[in-house]
Chains A and B, each alone.
Chain A
């Protein structure tokens, strides 16, 4: 009976680790890509009290995006992948007016392009006899390795090409001609062949867990120059009142 109790307790611990791993990963990814979700700024201020929930994986990130609150509502099955699409949204110039072209962003037509696709998953390997003898140390090892993996995820977010447009949006005080949005699903259509050719893939090393493994991977566009994100926004000419020559 003790053995069964131990197994149940260890399974609960692992479920907790997996659940928090998924939500922490989502937090890190959205925090570093979607400015509209985190308007209060980026790094938590020193001295700010740390919530217990934020101490998971010893990485204090501050308040999470609203998407995290909704995640528990739909993500009942921990083994389903969490697929996060980072979507570049650009307005299509309205060419109907020849003299004063305006961007239709936010008002008219726009184009969405997936510039990153993150997949965070707890892949299970169903076993008949769970390994009880090593389970006490193994959940600690899994937790320690998860800390390292999430650190490297955090760093990687700042090295990939999509970080630059994210920073541009964060620092932009006036309107921008593009935006970054996101989609979180557990299933998505594969990329077209044309998209696949321009995407590069990176797999973080997986972390073994007693009944599976924790995996993070990303498919990302290596080159964003074709979207002209660095060009300044064109504003329509305005009449300046009280202009004195």
Chain B
């Protein structure tokens, strides 16, 4: 089965915008993939003039908030400019052809990459000379730049939501039969590349087993 991958357009945002933006994007993806019975819930963003849709599933809401907390924590500890969060949907199948009895494996059929570029908050400009204390235009240009940046982020966020809609419309054949008719129908995982719960470490371990790394064979 093909694993369809969607790299969402990169969003430039400040720290305080991360939670709302991630909620909006993650919930929108889930709304299009929770193919069981759903009571849609419209949610207005506080920072932007955008309304998105939640599934109204309390467990999902809680898991999303936990992952966003982890992501924010990671961003604060590793303030790299570019960050990513990955939402994957998979099927659980019995692994064939191995000597491990009844081993289950995850077959990923769709992965979404949410790309965030953190920007520093602009500070007010001020200058002092030796001869006199002069504050020049304390925040006007910064406020204007923030306003422009905020409008650009809102437009980009809308583009990302359109991108999600286009993707789910164009690619439907790879979606497996619906296993669960209530709410969140497909098993999923949300990973932050580089953190402990990501598959990165496990992938490395598997590659070492396959290539027979000297330290593993001895």
Contacts of A163 in B (CB 8 A): 51
Q: Name the residue on B nearest A137 (C-beta).
A: B177
How far is the CB of B161 from the nearest CB of chain A, in Å? Answer: 6
Query: A183 near B: Cβ within 8 Å?
Result: no
Interface string of B159-178 (1 = CB under 8 A from A): 00110110011101001011
* 0/1 string, B56-70, CB within 8 A of A gives 1: 100000000000000
Question: Which of A155, A204, A205 has its CB near the most chain B CB atoms (within 10 A)?
Answer: A155
* CB atoms of A58 and B168 under 8 A apart: no
Q: Does A152 contact B (CB under 8 A)?
A: yes
Bound Cα distance from A150 to B165, whole angstroms: 11
B172 touches A148 (CB 8 A): yes
Chain B residue with Cβ nearest A167: B51
Residue of B nearest to A140 (CB): B177
A57, closest chain B residue (CB): B35
B36 at the interface (CB under 8 A from A): yes
The reply to whether B56 and A46 contact each other, CB–CB distance below 8 Å, is yes
Instruction: Identify the closest chain B residue to A59 (Cβ).
Output: B38
Q: Does A149 belong to the interface (CB within 8 Å)?
A: yes
Contact flag A159-B32 (CB < 8 Å), given A148-B168, A148-B175: no
B49 in contact (CB, < 8 A): yes
Most-contacted residue by chain A among B36, B53, B169 (CB, 10 A):
B169
Main secondary structure of the interface of A (DSSP, over half): helix
Q: Provide the residues of chain B in CB contact with A44, threshold 8 Å.
A: 39
Which interface residue of A46, A61, A159, A163 has the most chain B CB atoms within 10 A? A159
What chain B residues lie within 8 Å of A61 (beta carbons)? Answer: 40
Candidate in B39, B50, B56, B162 with the most chain A CB atoms within 10 angstroms: B39
Question: Are the CB atoms of A42 and B38 closer together than 8 Å?
Answer: no
Give chain B nearest CB distance to A1 CB in angstroms: 30
What residues of B have a CB within 8 angstroms of the CB of A167 in the complex?
Answer: 51
User: How far apart are the CA atoms of A50 and B36 in the complex, in Å?
Assistant: 14
B31 close to A (CB within 8 Å): yes
**B residues within 8 A CB of A152?**
32, 165, 168-169
Contact with B along A47-63 (1 / 0, CB 8 A): 00010000100111100
Residues of B within 8 A of A (CB): 28, 31-32, 35-42, 49-53, 56, 158, 161-162, 164-165, 168-170, 172, 175, 177-178, 181
7 tightest A-B CB contacts, nearest first: A205-B169, A158-B51, A60-B39, A152-B165, A58-B37, A145-B172, A151-B32
